[in-house]
Amino acid sequence: MFLWLALVSFFRNPWRIIPKDLPEGMMLSPADGVVSAIEFLDEHETVDGPAVCIRIFLSVLNVHINRMPCDCELDKMLYRKGKFLDARSEESAKINESNTLFLFTNGERIGMRQVSGKIARNIVCPIHDGDRFRQGQQFGMIKFGSTAELILPRPEQVEIHIAKGDSVRGGLTSLATLSPQTQH
C-alpha cells in the first residue's frame, strides 16, 4: 500500500493556473524544485554564444512534470546518452544522460535541458520539431529525481529573479526576464 501511495504521489500532476499578461521576456520555471545553480557561460550550444543557465534540482518529492518557460516553438531536440550520477552533484549536469531542447521565442533561440539522475533513468519528452507551445504548457517529465535547466542568451540582458537555494514551481515562479532584442 505504501509503495502504491508513493508512486501515485510521485506521478501527481496538480492543476496549475499559469499567470497571464506577464511582461515580455518573462521566463517561468520549467519545473518544481530548488535552484541548484545559476551559471554564466562563455558559450552554450543552444544559443550559439554566451548564456546564463538556471539549474533546478527535482527531488523524488517534487512534481516531475516539465513545463515550457515561455511561448515557443521546438527547433530541434538532442538526446545524449550518459551516466546516472546523483543529480545534486555539479558533475552530473555535464555527464549524465540528457535531452536538450532548442527553442525559438521572439525571434531568437533559448534552451531547455532535462538531465537524468541516479534514480531517474527515464526522460519522457513526446514532442517533435516544429511543435508550438504556450507558456506553462506541459512537455514532458523526468521520472524519480532529476535536473531541469533553462538556458538564456545575452546574459548581460537577463534579469534574474531568483537565487541559488530558492524553491520554485513549474509554470508559476518567475525565474528571469530576457530583455527584448535590440534591432541594429
Catalytic residues: 146
Closest CA to 160 of 136, 135, 178: 178
The residues, any chain, with a CB within 8 Å of residue 21's CB and separated by 6 or more, are: none
Residue 15's Cβ-count burial label (10 Å; 0-12, 13-18, 19+) is exposed
- Which segments within 6-92 are labelled E, that is strand? 26-28, 33-44, 49-58, 65-67, 72-80
